Amino acid sequence: MSEIQFTKGEKDMKKTLLENICEQIRMTKEEQFCRKIYDMVQNYCCKKDFHLSKEERKIIHDVGLEESFLFWMESRGKQIGYQVVYEYKGYLLPAGNPQIFPEREIAEKYRRNYLKYPWADQELFLEEVVYEGKPLKERQEYHGKKVCNMEWYCGIGALETGDLVDSDIVDLIINCLPPACMRSDCTQLGEPTDHRMDEDTLKPVFATFRKIEGNIWEFCGSCFQGENVKRGVEAPYC
């Protein structure tokens, strides 16, 4: 693999070295030369441990090296992860906990749930980052739906009503605090996740699960104590 030499001129350039390399790719059709540049880009990505800027990732995509980039990552035990962020004064800040999700769908669920908070008035989007967690095993499926296990569990904030989880996650929930309710059709975290109006009364709601079959449970959302169907009216936020 060709080594990248950082000259003083390159360090002073506004463009990154990767931008200059990719510009050369666009300017030539010579196969041998392009192969050399391909190796240089690969070396550049590896040197940065695949922690590239958004602009650098866009360049890789634009010049047709996206699949190669993913292959390079996978061959080194890494993969693309996703973080939910918002922009503030030119900086990207994590929404809530600075968590990196191993799958886009899980990150999207967290983003949608976070937007339900009354104070979440920023535009949230997903930022691709390097996921450095251990390789995750395939999840069990039940009637075509994936069942979340402890390896894939990213917190209640990344679950939506109707999602399936295994019994290990429910055990974790009820062992955090004495459960608000503990039945096969209604098992609830002992601490309220929010409050909602039930007619004229403000009542707490709890993360709720109900058993489907064997070790498979369904997340029912945040429900009143002893119930497994979400209802009530959102309390006004002051």
Residue 33: pLDDT above 80? no
Residue 55: pLDDT above 90? no
Band of pLDDT at residue 234, cut at 50, 70 and 90: confident
Q: Tell me: do 98 and 85 sit in the same domain.
A: yes
Range of the domain at 159: 141-234
- HSE-up of residue 145 (Cα within 13 Å, Cβ side): 13
% of the chain residues with pLDDT over 90: 47
Q: Tell me: do 127 and 64 sit in the same domain.
A: no
Q: Tell me: do 85 and 122 sit in the same domain.
A: yes
Q: Is 148 a domain residue?
A: yes
Q: Tell me: do 83 and 165 sit in the same domain.
A: no
> What is the domain count for the chain?
3
Token output for 98: 């600075």
Q: CA angle 166-140-213, nearest 5°?
A: 50
Q: Tell me: do 170 and 123 sit in the same domain.
A: no
Residue 60: pLDDT above 90? no
**The pTM of the whole model exceeds 0.95:** no
Mean pLDDT of the chain: 84
Q: Is 136 a domain residue?
A: no
Residue 124: pLDDT above 90? yes
Q: Is 122 a domain residue?
A: yes
Quote the CA–CA distance of 47 and 149 in Å, as a whole number. 34
Q: Is 2 a domain residue?
A: no
Give the tens place of pLDDT for each residue, 150-208.
Answer: 999 999 999 999 999 999 999 999 998 999 999 999 999 999 999 999 998 999 999 99
Quote the CA–CA distance of 219 and 186 in Å, as a whole number. 10
Going by C-alpha positions, the residue among 156, 166, 177 that lies closest to residue 114 is 156
